[in-house]
Structure 1
């Protein structure tokens, strides 16, 4: 498939539709290498990766459930299951951690944008290796207890959790904005 064709059809597969297999260790190294090739003003690499797979995902699910139960009290079986399986729905989850910080020359905002670019590159790299992927955050990206359990330092933030796996499900495209609604041309008369 040509790159232009891929970009025309690019979409994210719902995490609930993902299954094994996930990338091998060699494929994952390649995916992460490609993902890190993003614009990075000042060559700071203001992001890092944490890979979650296997038993650690089940342990994190129990932790997410405990945090949610502490905050919400009694939960439905479906809500409990959603927390327990949050990181086991796909064969692996990669956290893109933003390490953006004040810098004498590089605005923090540009560092954050670089982490966002890593997330998109990670989706594209996973697809290029024959896998499906989805970029999520959810409540765990904003909860101090969850972030600590995930291995983040207090000054770090989650740019995204990239779920990667395989799928046989056809994914219909979602509505996309019309260019006329999102594009303006500087200097042209409005009509």
Structure 2
């Protein structure tokens, strides 16, 4: 699939099954990720991937975070947290490793990590895989952040759930006129 086709046809898929990208495909995904725009060449991204049984460990991190934030959490909500990483055969945490830089503010570093995540999503689609970028409370939870090595101003920009689409999601019909305008002088 060429780059334009990949960009124009990628759609998030929430229902994911095996196969997930294998080790060779993962290397390609990470090579695509590190080609993201990167002002100052500071490479402000880190990627942690969870496959097979390691997804259960990520689920336990989510459970511990919920217990810390809500000691009265129900068994059902704890089970829901534990099962989140099991919704796909592969999960990639994308972390913006924010550092002091005289010319590159934190927001640019976070956006660069987001661009790296998008590169992974597009590359996975081009390779025949599907996925969904999830965020939510685990991205901002201090316990989850610390367990994944996001310290100080670092941010978890998302969890990329990857595999093969169980069903092909419909492509929304978007009108560019709703989002694009040409600048006109006053």
Q: Same fold (TM over 0.5)?
A: yes
SS in structure 2 of the partner of residue 158 of structure 1: strand
Q: Is 1:105 matched with 2:82?
A: no
Q: Which moved more, 1:50-59 or 1:124-133?
A: 50-59
**Counterpart position of 1:19:** 17
Match for residue 52 of structure 2 among 51, 54, 63: 54
Counterpart contact for 1:60–1:149, Cα < 8 Å: no
**Counterpart position of 1:43:** 41
Measure, in 1, the Cα distance between the counterparts of 2:178 and 2:168: 28
Q: Is 1:129 matched with 2:127?
A: yes
Unmatched runs of 5 consecutive residues or more in structure 2: none
Q: Is 1:159 matched with 2:157?
A: yes
Counterpart contact for 1:34–1:122, Cα < 8 Å: yes
What CA RMSD, in Å, does the superposition of the two structures yield over aligned residues? 2.0
1:67-89 per-position Cα deviation (integer Å, ceiling 9, x unaligned): 32343314262x33321111121
TM-score (norm 1): 0.86
Question: What is the number of residues matched between the two proteins?
Answer: 185
TM-score (norm 2): 0.88
Unmatched runs of 5 consecutive residues or more in structure 1: none
Measure, in 2, the Cα distance between the counterparts of 1:96 and 1:89: 17
The Cα of 1:112 is off from its aligned counterpart by 1.7
Change over 3 Å in CA distance of 1:74–1:6 after alignment to 2: closer
Q: Is 1:139 matched with 2:152?
A: no
Q: Which moved more, 1:158-167 or 1:56-65?
A: 56-65
Measure, in 1, the Cα distance between the counterparts of 2:184 and 2:165: 46
SS in structure 2 of the partner of residue 85 of structure 1: helix
The Cα of 1:188 is off from its aligned counterpart by 5.1
